[in-house]
Amino acid sequence: MNRSQSTAAAALGMGPLLTLRRIILPQSMRAVIPGLANDTIGMLKLTSIASVIFVNELTFRSQQVVGQNFKFFTVFGAAAVIYLVLTSGISLLQVWLESIFDHERDRKVTLSWFGLRPSTRNVKPLDAPIDSPVAAKEPEANDHAWIGTLLPAESRTPRHRDEPFVACRNVWKSYGKREILRGVDLSIGHGEVVVILGPSGSGKSTLLKLINHLEPLDWGTIKVDSQYVGYREVPGGGGTVRPLHNLARARAEARVGMVFQHFNLFSHLSALDNIVEAQRQVYDVPRAEAQALGRELLKSVGLAAHADFLPHRLSGGQQQRVAIARALAIKPKLMLFDEPTSALDPELVGEVLGVMRGLADAGMTMVVVTHEVRFARDVADRVVFMDGGEVIEQGTPQQVIDNPTHERTQKFLNVVAN
Ligand code: ADP
Ligand code: MG
């Protein structure tokens, strides 16, 4: 089971139990059932645990009966029928269970009088472009005014205009003895787009995970929209903070959307259901409303025709656009992107950056970790260069990318540019 999917669930405000029930178990069941059914049938054939009927027992009894009445064909015919009925029963049970936990809807089978046939309920017509993700190519969404209309007013206005929207103060974080973040100070304004550059291992992902409290910090404070995420101040403690017990709820209330390098889509859910899941389970949005927003978001990332596709049938670029739509569905005040295009084939990078550009244009506050220097130059309001768990320098793209003052920044940019 994929740990990254659990992280994605946590970022959407889903608690551990909810994640277990909705994400992990359905996928495990799917993996377990065929083996379980085969084992059961095997057991029937081979062992006497299922002592009512097993093959040897059946044969032995049949022979006894034949010995008494000499109706060889009738008796063994009856034995064969009993055996078939039992194993078929188990097979049908297996088919039924698999259909419940089946991720691949278009392969779902139903029982009919004529045997098993593919269910027509959820199946697309055979000539529908299902196998090639590029087949159903749609025009890219150029008009990004949509985002403003989707987001509630409160997410478009900060609680306190005179404070930074995201404020990281003297943030320290270690894993074991290794110091990953060493006193990071970073302020991000409302509506600002900040690109974080830095070599691998410099602590960029860790910083993002601390901002929405996917990981606890060791020292310092982080506030989003003037509030701690999952911490509360100890009364009379002079600014000391304690973690809250219900972290999932705290994350849900903070409304911080996160997009990961490897998309981390829920692999058993369709594109639309990926987007609907947290709305329904975490925010209690009525199904129709959640689906309507889901379809609208899919349309705006250029994937309206892919609503029923499972993630594995989408290209990387399409998966990442679904992941962005999924994060937007929780109506985030802040979007965190952790190397969103690093896992993509070069020709697919543009479609994802296009959506991110649209978001930035629409006024979303964004923190983007990326190696795409051109994106940083074109879209970022500010570029932050990190190395060794520290902010080395920051400023406008022109300052940091074109005229870096620090030697480490120059060295990094040389490597990335080549
Ligand atoms: P970056 O995103 O800049 O490449 P990261 O923040 O992912 O850097 O990681 C910084 C360092 O922290 C890496 O050397 C990584 O091995 C280590 N690290 C990250 N997460 C963990 C963890 N959960 N446990 C132990 N070490 C970790
Ligand atoms: Mg990283």
pLDDT, tens digit, 9 for 90 and up, residues 194-219 = 999 999 999 999 999 999 999 999 99
Q: What per-residue confidence (pLDDT) applies to 124?
A: 44
Residue nearest (by alpha carbon) to ligand 1 atom 11: 201
DSSP 8-state assignment for residue 376: H
The rounded Cα 249 to chain-centroid distance in angstroms is 18
> Distance between CA 30 and CA 56 in Å, rounded?
32
Sites in the chain below the pLDDT cut of 50: 106-142
Ligand 1 pocket residue status of 175, Cβ below 6 Å? yes
- Residue 385 C-alpha to ligand 2 middle, in angstroms? 14
List phi, psi (to 5°) of 242: -120, 145
pTM for this structure?
0.80
- Residue 342 C-alpha to ligand 2 middle, in angstroms? 10
- Residue 175 C-alpha to ligand 1 middle, in angstroms? 8
Q: What per-residue confidence (pLDDT) applies to 119?
A: 44
Ligand 1 pocket residue status of 216, Cβ below 6 Å? no
- The tokens for 218 are 């060791």
Q: What per-residue confidence (pLDDT) applies to 135?
A: 38
- Residue 228 C-alpha to ligand 1 middle, in angstroms? 23
> Distance between CA 400 and CA 385 in Å, rounded?
8
> Distance between CA 45 and CA 38 in Å, rounded?
11
Q: What per-residue confidence (pLDDT) applies to 144?
A: 54
- The tokens for 129 are 């472009």
> Distance between CA 374 and CA 383 in Å, rounded?
12
Tell me the domains of the chain and their CATH numbers.
3-120 (no CATH), 145-417 (3.40.50.300)
Ligand 1 pocket residue status of 209, Cβ below 6 Å? no
- Residue 231 C-alpha to ligand 1 middle, in angstroms? 23
Residue nearest (by alpha carbon) to ligand 1 atom 22: 175
Contact indicator for 33, 100 with CB cutoff of 8 Å: no
Q: Tens of pLDDT along 9-59?
A: 999 999 999 999 999 998 888 778 777 777 777 776 666 555 555 677 778
Residue nearest (by alpha carbon) to ligand 1 atom 5: 203
Contact indicator for 100, 268 with CB cutoff of 8 Å: no
> Distance between CA 249 and CA 130 in Å, rounded?
38
Strand 219-224 with 193-197, pairing: unpaired
The rounded Cα 163 to chain-centroid distance in angstroms is 32
